[in-house]
Structure 1
């Protein structure tokens, strides 16, 4: 019997995933382990699932009503609560005619409809309403999506009390569930009122999803949402493709502006040199530094280059401007350097951000992880660099979590520190030099040995080849790396081959300083070493 049930569950998941693929013209081959566990547990239980950024939380609630419908052989729909407009708009666009967005206009139309019809006369046969209200009253939807402020509206509650919704709506899904605890106390108090939906829909299960939740936050979410005997799933938050750095920034007597300009100067100069090939980078800073950073770029770049390559994202931006920036930061967008406040975190899903820079210290470890999680969502190598000084982590800084101060000053593995904070084991093994700046000091591979040696040497070493030849070497290497990575069968080919943009830069440095490449590349596949050496020799002669 257990074998038969396991086969049935497997088939249900496959059919649900196939339905998503057909509807959205995607090509998902299989669900990941924690996606599978979360979906199966959600059928009968309240579930809290903490999964790392980029893991695919949205696919879980996209499959959920399909899985439940197949399991009970009845139509199913879910209420999906999201914290930001950008997330909701993306979800409504993704689910198309299967989704209803709960807006002020929808609620007003629902109120008019409710005043015209008594509960005894509203049914799918005699409903005279139009548009989304008709779609709602006839139950021909799969996702009811909105902010908490709209979801607890009294006019919506009146409708949800009808028997058809008691049967149809099987789950209350809270996306970015850490906001219930983070914002529900004072910033957006309606988050804390979402529990009222449980009294309106007593049979519905709760599925809370987030990428960052400490042990205390997990407890707060369960209490706030009245989750009884909840099943909790938590994956290791460590991202093997993101290397963490923490660096000291200058502390000038005249204030922070000079410190900020000195900190971003290397990135601005790199942008001026590389332009379209500049690694896509987000610099997180306070609002006033967003404008200062943009002006600094204007001083070094042409007006056209600045408009095309540089952008800002913060609360004062109009919604239209925010949408433009998100699109321009997309996989095929032209923006290469973004100055942003914490507003650019949840709800943004640019796959190919290569660097996250923090000027100053985020207020909490949760905020830091949300922002670091914007990097490397395509699985390729990425870096997160935090610049701070003692003023940033002083005890009198208002609202600063002391754990962030500890994170900046720790000499232990930074990913291990973060895993301990969030109460999850570091199940993923890193090569020391791929983990963080602290682990580099423990690594004995040639790459890290060279890094330490380069730091101690004079930067004005004579060049072994000309600048033009170095550029040709880098371009040829990048073309070769792209070709090798394109034929790899691994999901994250760069992590498997080691042939990254950063490696091309490092090889160029070795050539520039006349170093022996064979020792430096000894950890690579021998075929790669031979081809890299041949490329360098061809351009050096």
Structure 2
């Protein structure tokens, strides 16, 4: 056993010293996890944890959040406690860590009593490096008392947006996790999430009592995901045609109702698709079976409500379809982010029609809690604006999360089939001036009413009919100005302040346009959306036949060990094998995701499969 491997099991040798240098962290990264370099921000976050500093980590799904606490856990003394929302996610991560020789366990209600006792014994004897628990378990009095007697080196709170009242998935138990700071006052806290706007970030820091935290915001960009929006015309046929074209790739279809979920799953099954339904009304055992079969590649497509949510630990999802429009950009981003976590090309398709949006808006308006209703309305407004946008979809998403960019992505339906452009400088000046004249205190529709010269009683009471911008845009329709203003928001010239009833406010980017110092090209407003036919045609330059054989080897090993296939190797590793054709242990060790332990456990099987394939190919070429 090497010196670094001894750290995986918390024994006397590993208790004497913590690894903190950049060199030692890099060595562990390669030897244990099989990665040759850190991703953006990972090392800074790890350094903060090892130095005892709190941190707030915003990284996109698939951006490497888990590694931020897993690597420090094996590089220092003490236990790393991970708060995680879903049992399935906990178990998948524990399985993956155990496969790499790391002493990890989870405490949850799905364990048999003797299993729970075994985990508690390991915990008390200092044999664990990572322990995963739910927020409910973490707040139990008995567990808190046990924590006070342990050496906890790091507290990691995953899916931290659940803490915030402004987040799209608020959970009261998460909001109480600040209590753990009283029990572990000297333990650094790492809060991690894929989505959090400014209000949610502030809430997370307050509720977890983070002390001068390192705040790391990775880019929200997922360049391997192609974003597509299609107008609904025959939605069931559109979905069936799309899934057929994916030829057995893994995908998720989100629907707004349980009835629709079951109907669509049945239609896909009739088409010969290995599909299954998932929603909160189904028996628990059936849901668990569906999730397990999907993660283990025994089901290709899951048709689900948002109940099929956080914690879907499956890197090779190739497409996510929204059959109905989501309620917020945060939800849309989280759900589409479940595609392509392995970095390989993936698609996010939204079927959209305005009547769906009107139905969701009515449902939101029926919410009893006035403040919650206001927040949800504002968030849905942003989601609807994205669906109806004439601007690059990726720019809309990134600008929503305050990551301002100006160059279109080239990998969305708007970029592939761009709308006509025109010099929108004058329109922009009219809209921006109107926002300024109403004191930056009103929302989109009020500003449009002023631009179009509405004679409503409210405008007259506010004396906004006397402003210089009143009726300067009367020649254009309400929908026209809605498109213009949404483009200005997406381009970062305006923001909607969610804490001030979505009031429009100018940014610094608006100044040169207002002054006439900068020309602004806008998309000619499309009042009616046009159905999009763009599709990804190729998924890489690797040997597809060998890739399929390697997947069969992986599936066989995974079934034998009763773990999901990605725990053995993810698709990225198999693609590299199919590209580089490694035939020696050292060559296989250079493949992304192949660490020393996995080389020892699985290397022989994969090398044999590659050598057999090459031998068969050579024999085929020798045949006259």
| Fold shared, TM-score > 0.5 on shorter chain | yes
Pick the aligned partner of 2:64 from 9, 33, 56: 56
Q: How many residues align?
A: 402
User: Equivalents in 1 of 2:544, 2:108: separation in Å?
Assistant: 49
Pick the aligned partner of 1:281 from 227, 234, 251: 251
Structure 1 contact 184–191 (Cα < 8 Å) conserved: no
User: Equivalents in 2 of 1:480, 1:210: separation in Å?
Assistant: 30
Pick the aligned partner of 2:336 from 372, 392, 396: 372
**Structure 1 residues 133, 345: CA separation in 2 closer, same or farther (over 3 Å shift)?**
closer
Report matched runs for 1:211-360 at 5 Å: 211-250=194-233, 262-269=234-241, 277-286=247-256, 287-298=258-269, 300-301=270-271, 305=272, 309-330=274-295, 333-360=297-324
**Structure 1 residues 16, 76: CA separation in 2 closer, same or farther (over 3 Å shift)?**
farther
User: Equivalents in 1 of 2:136, 2:539: separation in Å?
Assistant: 51
Residues 1:388 and 2:364 are matched in the alignment: no
Structure 1 contact 42–207 (Cα < 8 Å) conserved: yes
Unaligned runs of 5+ in 2: 1-18, 365-375, 422-528, 548-571, 577-624
Aligned residue number for residue 16 of structure 1: 28
For the residue of structure 2 that corresponds to 1:90, the secondary structure is helix
Structure 1 contact 174–208 (Cα < 8 Å) conserved: yes
User: Equivalents in 2 of 1:184, 1:386: separation in Å?
Assistant: 22
Pick the aligned partner of 2:78 from 70, 76, 79: 76
Unaligned runs of 5+ in 1: 1-6, 70-74, 111-128, 251-261, 445-454, 460-476, 496-541
Query: Structure 1 residue 194: deviation in Å?
Result: 0.5
Pick the aligned partner of 1:156 from 107, 129, 143: 143
For the residue of structure 2 that corresponds to 1:49, the secondary structure is strand
User: Equivalents in 2 of 1:316, 1:185: separation in Å?
Assistant: 21
User: Equivalents in 2 of 1:176, 1:383: separation in Å?
Assistant: 23
Q: What are the superposed Cα offsets for residues 39-64 of structure 1, whole Å, 9 maximum, x if unpaired? A: 11222311011011111211222112
Residues 1:30 and 2:32 are matched in the alignment: no
Aligned residue number for residue 186 of structure 2: 203
Query: Structure 1 residue 229: deviation in Å?
Result: 0.9
For the residue of structure 1 that corresponds to 2:362, the secondary structure is coil
Aligned residue number for residue 97 of structure 2: 95
Report matched runs for 1:429-444 at 5 Å: 432=410, 434-438=411-415, 440-441=417-418
User: What is the RMSD of the two structures over their aligned residues, measured on CA atoms?
Assistant: 3.8
Structure 1 contact 107–155 (Cα < 8 Å) conserved: no
User: Equivalents in 2 of 1:185, 1:155: separation in Å?
Assistant: 31
Q: What are the superposed Cα offsets for residues 305-325 of structure 1, whole Å, 9 maximum, x if unpaired? A: 35xx11112223444433433
User: Equivalents in 2 of 1:185, 1:271: separation in Å?
Assistant: 28
For the residue of structure 2 that corresponds to 1:396, the secondary structure is helix
Query: Structure 1 residue 81: deviation in Å?
Result: 0.2
**Structure 1 residues 151, 482: CA separation in 2 closer, same or farther (over 3 Å shift)?**
same
Structure 1 contact 172–205 (Cα < 8 Å) conserved: yes
Structure 2 contact 317–339 (Cα < 8 Å) conserved: yes
Aligned residue number for residue 133 of structure 1: 120
**Structure 1 residues 311, 103: CA separation in 2 closer, same or farther (over 3 Å shift)?**
closer
Query: Structure 1 residue 486: deviation in Å?
Result: 8.4
Structure 2 contact 394–408 (Cα < 8 Å) conserved: no
Structure 2 contact 165–203 (Cα < 8 Å) conserved: no
Aligned residue number for residue 519 of structure 1: none
Structure 1 contact 102–151 (Cα < 8 Å) conserved: no
Structure 2 contact 265–303 (Cα < 8 Å) conserved: yes
Aligned residue number for residue 399 of structure 2: 420
**Structure 1 residues 41, 484: CA separation in 2 closer, same or farther (over 3 Å shift)?**
same
Q: What are the superposed Cα offsets for residues 171-222 of structure 1, whole Å, 9 maximum, x if unpaired? A: 2100111111159999632111100000001001110111111111111110
**Structure 1 residues 187, 216: CA separation in 2 closer, same or farther (over 3 Å shift)?**
closer
**Structure 1 residues 63, 242: CA separation in 2 closer, same or farther (over 3 Å shift)?**
same
Query: Structure 1 residue 345: deviation in Å?
Result: 3.2
